[in-house]
Amino acid sequence: MAKRVKCIVLSGNGTNCEMEMAYACKLGGADEVDIVHISELIYGLRRLDSYHFLNLPGGFLDGDDLGAAKAGANRIKYARVKDTSERLYDQLLKFIKQGKLILGICNGFQLMVKAGLLPGFNRDFETQTVTLTYNDSGRFEDRWVCLKINPNSPCIFTKGMERVYLPVRHGEGKFIPRDEKILKRLHEDGLVVVQYSDEHFQQPTMTYPLNPNGSVDAIAGICDESGRLFGMMPHPEAYLYYTNHPRWTRERLPEEGEGILFFRNAITYIRETLL
């Protein structure tokens, strides 16, 4: 019997995009997709070892108390699996060591950076070096944005992609590195995967509202050095069909939405590398 690609989409404590993300995994070619409440992992009812691809969806973990996803990041880092001495984060680190994939979208991206999973320099996945904070506009931004994709990035999820048009919906999406050294290394190592761009998808932009939050160097998403851990603020799972597009009644569009490509790339990589 052929081996099956198994995806887990984490839910609970304020996530609200888990169903869309699970559906995107299915459209991308996954054989099995489970939406799993984090308590199931903490109580030992499920284990990350059973899966190939971890999805961290958007939402408002813990009401964004302490800052977006900070409480959620602490829960994953310090919670112990029931009746064991094992941290849930130990499972996560083992998952990464096994060469598996992690995708964080919006609140999931915020969780990844605040837990230290991204950018994960020198395979240090516990030290936070960047953050995502309040938009320069001082308000929640819900709009579609043009995104330029770095062709030199090692990112698995954006293979073969040059540009994409996706929605953002967040109040704390401004990307800030700890210092200039971190920013320089992100660029030098090709870890800046996605940037907010002008309307022609040519140049990164700091102009509002094309850059909806004021992110440093227009950074919308980054990956780790392996390209297997990736986080971004825009929502690919929100553009799966042409009818999701804001101009679908006025433009001729492919039936398939551009967001599926991120998930298809991930599933293809798993089939070719992990199975």
Q: Which structure tokens are listed for 168? A: 């953002």
The topology (CATH level 3) of 6-273 is: Rossmann fold (3.40.50)
Identify the weakest region by mean pLDDT among 1-5, 30-34, 68-72, 266-270: 1-5
Tell me, yes or no, if the pTM score tops 0.75: yes
Nearest to 161 by CA among 227, 251, 246: 227
Those residues whose C-beta lies under 8 Å from the C-beta of residue 11, and which sit 6 or more positions away, are 18, 35, 36, 37, 38, 57
88-97 and 70-78 are packed helices; what angle lies between their axes, rounded to 10 degrees? Answer: 90
pLDDT of residue 66: 85
pLDDT digits (tens, 9 = 90+) for 158-173: 999 999 999 999 999 9
Reply yes or no on whether 237 is catalytic.
yes
Reply yes or no on whether 187 is catalytic.
no
Domain ranges of the chain: 6-273
Cβ atoms of 14 and 60 within 8 Å: the answer is: yes
Amino acid identity at 242: Y
pLDDT digits (tens, 9 = 90+) for 212-239: 999 999 999 999 999 999 999 999 999 9
Which of 52, 170, 235, 245 is an active site residue? 235
Which of 20, 141, 237, 258 is an active site residue? 237
Q: What are phi and psi of 200, to 5 degrees?
A: -100, 5
pLDDT of residue 2: 64
Which of 7, 17, 25, 106 is an active site residue? 106
Reply yes or no on whether 37 is catalytic.
no
- Strand 163-170 and strand 219-223: the pairing is unpaired
Cβ atoms of 127 and 195 within 8 Å: the answer is: no
